[in-house]
Structure 1
Amino acid sequence: MAIDWNRRTCARKGHVTYAPDDPRLRVRLHAGTALGEVWRCLRCGDFVLGEPHGSGPAADAPLVPRGKVLRDLFILRCLAVERAARGVFVVLVAVAVWRFSNSENAVRRLFDEYLDVFRPVFRHFHYDLDHSPVVGSLQRAFGYRHSTLLLVAALLLAYALIELVEAVGLWYAKRWAEYLTVVSTSVFLPLEIYELGEHISWVKIATLVVNILAVLYIALAKRLFGLRGGRRAYDAERHSASLLEVTRSAGTPG
């Protein structure tokens, strides 16, 4: 069953009506009822009781996102939520690294104590903690200098900031955020592919696939970097929709 993005959005945000100066269009958008005058919604096409939200030349009618544009906005906001969640997670990791850098010796002693406790337990299940990749990575981390750990925390915070800025920009469908998302995501794709070659996991595969699809979708759908006519075609498409919105809602040929 196909989603009616127009009615779905009107149900959440309300209808948008407009009274054009052209009487031929005006009469198609307006009707009188026993309850009062009604105006046709520029988004979903339904008639709405009450005064119009605006009036003037048809060319000045508000640009009301409809159909495919609303679908694209929904996808962008899903990506925005994913970027925001990732940004918050990276911030927490950065804080953990910073706190670890200030209490490295205490954490190392605690780690060694717990390792001694759990070593026999894991050995019972035929798992050698002394040769565990995770344990080895943690032990190597204890050898890092304080300045190195602070640098790692700073880099993680910078990365988290980029993710959070992307999230805000994508939520509001800003074009600069679309460029930022494509560039920043593409930069890390080689690293993700390299990590996948080192150790394959479904999480890494899913993350790589999502990032590749996000880059392709945003670049093509939003006509970035000159694709599909570039910015000129993108603006022309939206400008055309703005000029024809009232005409289309009125049922006259564009």
Structure 2
Amino acid sequence: MKIDWDRRTCARRGHVTYAPDELPLRERLHTATALGEAWRCLRCGDFALGAPHGSGPAAQAPLVPRGKVLRDVFILRFLAIERAVRGVFIVLVAVAVWKFSNSQDAVRRLFDEYLDVFRPVFKHFHYDLDHSPVVGTIQKTFGYEHRTLVLVAGLLLAYALIELVESAGLWYAKRWAEYLTVVATAAFLPLEIYELTEHISWLKIGTLVLNVLAVVYILLAKHLFGLRGGHRAFEEERQGASLLEVEESAQVGVRV
């Protein structure tokens, strides 16, 4: 089923109407009904009853995302939410690492006590906790120095900050955020691939696929780094999204 992004957005946010000063174009965007005047929405193209939301020269009409541009905004906001969730999670991990660094000995003693309690239980099921990879990894962390753990917490916070900045920029469709997302995401792809060589999980595979698709999509759809015509092609595509400009072009064609 094909989604009508224009009407979907208008149903949620309402129509956007504009009365241009140019009379021929104004007449094409205006109609009279038994219930009063109606103006064509710049987003979905339907006529909406009531006075226009704005007026003035056609060149000063609001640029309303529609069609493919509106779909791109929806995808960017999905990525923004994903980045925000990831950023908050990393902040929580960083806080946990910092707290652990300040009470490392106490946590170690507590872990050893629980290990002594559960060792006979797991042994009954023929599972040796002393040779468990998970237990071994946890025990290794107890050997880390305090300053090392603080450094790890700081790096995690820095990474979380990047994710949250990306999220805010993508939500408002800022071009700098698109560049930041592509560069930052691509920089961590080798690490994600390396982690898969160490241990494969569906979560890691899904994260890697999502990040690769995000990089490729933003690069191509937003014409970054000169791809597909670069910034000039991007601006032409964005400017061409306004129904008012489409109507103006059609009016010019009629005159010719």
Smaller-chain TM-score bracket:
over 0.9
> Is the contact made by 1:169 and 1:177 (CA closer than 8 Å) also made in structure 2?
yes
What TM-score comes out, normalization by structure 1 length? 0.95
Q: Does the 8 Å contact 1:29/1:250 carry over to 2? A: no
Structure 2 counterpart of 1:108, one-letter code: R
Asked whether the equivalents of residues 19 and 29 of structure 1 are also in contact (C-alpha less than 8 Å), the reply is: yes
* Residue of structure 1 in register with 2:90 after alignment: 90
Identity %: 77
Give how far 1:31 is off: 1.1
Name 2:161's counterpart in structure 1.
161
1:208 has 2:208 as partner:
yes
Is contact 2:22-2:57 (8 Å) kept? yes
Runs of 4+ residues deviating >6 angstroms: none
The reply on whether 1:103 has 2:103 as its aligned counterpart is yes
Matching residue of 1:239: 239
Report the Cα distance in structure 2 between the residues aligned to 1:192 and 1:123, rounded to whole angstroms.
Answer: 35
Aligned residue in 2 for 1:2: 2
CA shift for structure 1 position 106: 0.5
Instruction: Specify the code of the residue in structure 1 equivalent to 2:250.
Output: T
Whether the 8 Å CA contact 2:65–2:238 is kept in 1: the answer is no
Taking the aligned partners of 1:252 and 1:226, their CA distance within structure 2 comes to 30
Asked if structure 2 preserves the Cα contact closer than 8 Å seen for 1:42 and 1:64, the reply is yes
Quick one: which amino acid aligns to residue 139 of structure 1? Q
Whole-angstrom CA distance in 1 between matches of 2:144 and 2:199 = 24
Aligned to 2:226: 226
Query: What amino acid is aligned across from residue 101 of structure 2 in structure 1?
Result: S
**1:20 CA displacement:** 1.3
**What's the counterpart of residue 15 of structure 1?**
15
3-state secondary structure, aligned to 2:89? helix
The Cα offsets for residues 4-39 of structure 1, whole Å up to 9 and x where unpaired, read as 100110111111001112221111111112221111
- 2:54 maps to amino acid: G
Counterparts of 2:114 and 2:164, CA distance in 1: 36
Give, in whole Å, the separation in 2 of the partners of 1:67 and 1:224: 20
1:170-194 CA-to-partner distances (Å, cap 9, x unmatched) read: 1111111111100000011001111
Residue pairs, 1:62-101, within 5 angstroms: 62-101=62-101
Unaligned runs of 5+ in 2: none
Give the partner amino acid of 2:234: Y
Q: Distance in 2 between matches of 1:24 and 1:148?
A: 71
CA contact (8 A) 1:15 1:48 kept: yes
The aligned counterpart of 2:60 is 60
Q: Output the amino acid matched with 1:246.
A: L
Shift of 1:247: 4.6
C-alpha separation between the residues in 1 aligned to 2:89 and 2:80? 14
Tell me: CA distance 1:58–1:237, structure 2 relative to 1, closer, same or farther (3 Å). same
Range with bigger deviation, 117-126 or 106-115: 117-126
Could you tell me which residue of structure 1 aligns to residue 131 of structure 2?
Answer: 131
Corresponding residue for 1:34?
34
CA deviations over 1:80-133 (Å, ceiling 9, x no partner): 111001001100000000100110110000000111111222222332221222
Contact 1:16 1:42 in 2 (8 A): yes
Task: Indicate whether 1:122 and 2:122 are aligned.
Answer: yes
The RMSD of aligned alpha carbons is 1.5
Q: Distance in 2 between matches of 1:177 and 1:247?
A: 27
Give the Cα–Cα distance (whole angstroms) in 2 for the partners of residues 176 and 65 of structure 1: 18
Rate the CA distance shift 1:23–1:43 in 2: closer, same or farther, 3 A.
same
Mapped to 2, the partners of 1:124 and 1:216 lie a distance apart of 51
